[in-house]
């Protein structure tokens, strides 16, 4: 019994219904050296779009603060003001303007400032794009035959610019921006986002002003599509399972957590992929044979970038923002004390 008690300090047990989670607040502050020693970070996978990494040895509060910052407090550039000179397409002005706001822009936001309330757009707080496009009829016999206009199979073959893509957005450098971004021209992250469909005679002309902001204000500024963490699963067999039961259990798990040895014994092959679906402990007879648990201080983060930052940059920026936040408050307190004196 005491064994289970000891274990419940580090593990949360998954039951058929719900989870046994004993909050264990460490009431002692670890010395920083110990904190550094206990802390273990491992990158599991990393590519241009997402990163998965393990963090072991931090509090849930810290993990959650980081996740919240990744989603809503890392600044990016997004279209905020739209001057619409012409829009005869079927999409209403305000819907199109909102749609433009959601287009991710590939530019390093760290090189820009947040635009002040009374400030004008300038080279340090704004990126401008122009989009001017008109749909026309092509000069082919099929295109000229108006009967083909009704539900054409391939409208691109009949009309010029039947579809408006993000690649039609033209970056307009302001001031010294042309020189500054010579090697990394500013553009939408993806060139093939469909913005609108048009028919001959329709036209869109607008100026798009990008400003710096954070996801707290509007999700268009969020640098991640998803950022989440979960606790690492810890699965073990409490007793030996072999023969038919082993086969049954192996086929039960949809994630193939279990496998069978040559001797016919069941073993846990890969506990990380477990999704906590509880399929393996649904049958009464297995409830006491399997230990389904989560490691309480082992977080597996997954951060999926939209494309403005590299995924690993989002993590470092996030931690930096938390640090700056704390530093800023510390300075505010200093200021308060000086006032009092």
- Asked if residue 210 binds ligand SF4 (CB under 6 A), the reply is no
Closer residue to other proteins in complex, CB, 168/300: 300
Are residues 88 and 202 in contact, defined by beta-carbon separation less than 8 angstroms?
yes
Question: Judged by CB under 8 A, which stretch of 5-13, 50-58, 131-139, 163-171 contacts other proteins?
Answer: 50-58
Question: Judged by CB under 6 A, which stretch of 80-88, 138-146, 217-225, 272-280 contacts ligand SF4?
Answer: 272-280
Cα 169–Cα 306–Cα 213 angle in degrees, nearest 5: 75
- Asked if residue 218 binds other proteins (CB under 8 A), the reply is no
CB of 2 to ligand SF4, least distance (A): 27
CB of 69 to other proteins, least distance (A): 6
- Asked if residue 253 binds ligand SF4 (CB under 6 A), the reply is yes
- Asked if residue 241 binds ligand SF4 (CB under 6 A), the reply is no
- Asked if residue 277 binds ligand SF4 (CB under 6 A), the reply is yes
**Using the rule CB under 6 A, which residue among 257, 293, 306, 314 binds ligand SF4?**
257
Question: Judged by CB under 8 A, which stretch of 173-181, 200-208, 245-253, 330-338 contacts other proteins?
Answer: 330-338
Question: Judged by CB under 6 A, which stretch of 18-26, 145-153, 236-244, 253-261 contacts ligand SF4?
Answer: 253-261
Within 8 A by CB and 6+ apart from 118, the residues are: none
Beta-bridged to residue 87, according to DSSP, are: 204
Q: How many CB atoms lie within 10 A of CB 28?
A: 6
Question: Judged by CB under 6 A, which stretch of 122-130, 206-214, 270-278, 332-340 contacts ligand SF4?
Answer: 270-278
- Asked if residue 61 binds other proteins (CB under 8 A), the reply is yes
- Asked if residue 42 binds other proteins (CB under 8 A), the reply is yes
Which partner from the list other proteins, ligand SF4, none does 255 bind, CB cut-off 5 to 8 Å by kind? ligand SF4
- Taking the C-alpha atoms of residue 297 and residue 63, their distance in angstroms, rounded to an integer, is 10
CB of 53 to other proteins, least distance (A): 7
List contacts with ligand SF4 (CB under 6 A): 235, 252-253, 255, 257, 274-280, 292
């Amino acid at each position: 019994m005491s064994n289970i008690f000891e274990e419940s300090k580090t593990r949360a047990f998954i039951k058929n219904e719900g989870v046994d989670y004993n909050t264990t607040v460490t009431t002692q502050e670890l010395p920083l050296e110990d904190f550094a020693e206990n802390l273990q970070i491992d990158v599991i996978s990393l590519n241009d779009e997402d990163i998965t990494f393990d963090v072991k040895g931090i509090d849930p509060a810290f993990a959650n603060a980081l996740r919240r910052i990744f989603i809503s407090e890392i600044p990016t550039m997004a279209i905020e003001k739209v001057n619409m000179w012409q829009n005869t397409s079927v999409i209403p002005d305000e819907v199109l303007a909102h749609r433009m706001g959601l287009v991710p822009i590939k530019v390093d936001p760290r090189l820009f400032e947040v635009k002040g309330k009374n400030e004008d757009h300038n080279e340090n707080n704004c990126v401008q794009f122009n989009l001017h496009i008109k749909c026309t009829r092509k000069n082919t016999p099929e295109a000229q035959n108006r009967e083909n206009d009704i539900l054409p199979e391939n409208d691109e073959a009949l009309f010029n610019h039947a579809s408006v893509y993000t690649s039609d957005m033209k970056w307009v450098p302001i001031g010294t921006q042309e020189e500054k971004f010579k090697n990394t021209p500013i553009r939408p992250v993806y060139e093939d986002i469909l913005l609108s469909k048009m028919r001959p005679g329709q036209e869109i002309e607008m100026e798009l002003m990008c400003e710096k902001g954070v996801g707290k204000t509007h999700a268009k500024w969020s640098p991640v599509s998803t950022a989440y963490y979960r606790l690492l699963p810890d699965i073990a067999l409490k007793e030996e399972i072999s023969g038919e039961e082993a086969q049954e259990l192996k086929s039960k798990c949809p994630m193939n957590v279990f496998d069978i040895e040559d001797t016919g014994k069941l073993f846990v092959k890969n506990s990380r992929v477990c999704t906590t679906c509880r399929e393996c402990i649904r049958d009464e007879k297995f409830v006491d044979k399997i230990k389904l648990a989560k490691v309480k201080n082992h977080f597996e983060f997954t951060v999926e970038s939209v494309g403005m930052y590299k995924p690993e940059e989002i993590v470092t920026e996030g931690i930096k923002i938390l640090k700056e936040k704390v530093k800023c408050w510390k300075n505010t307190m200093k200021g308060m004390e000086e006032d009092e004196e």
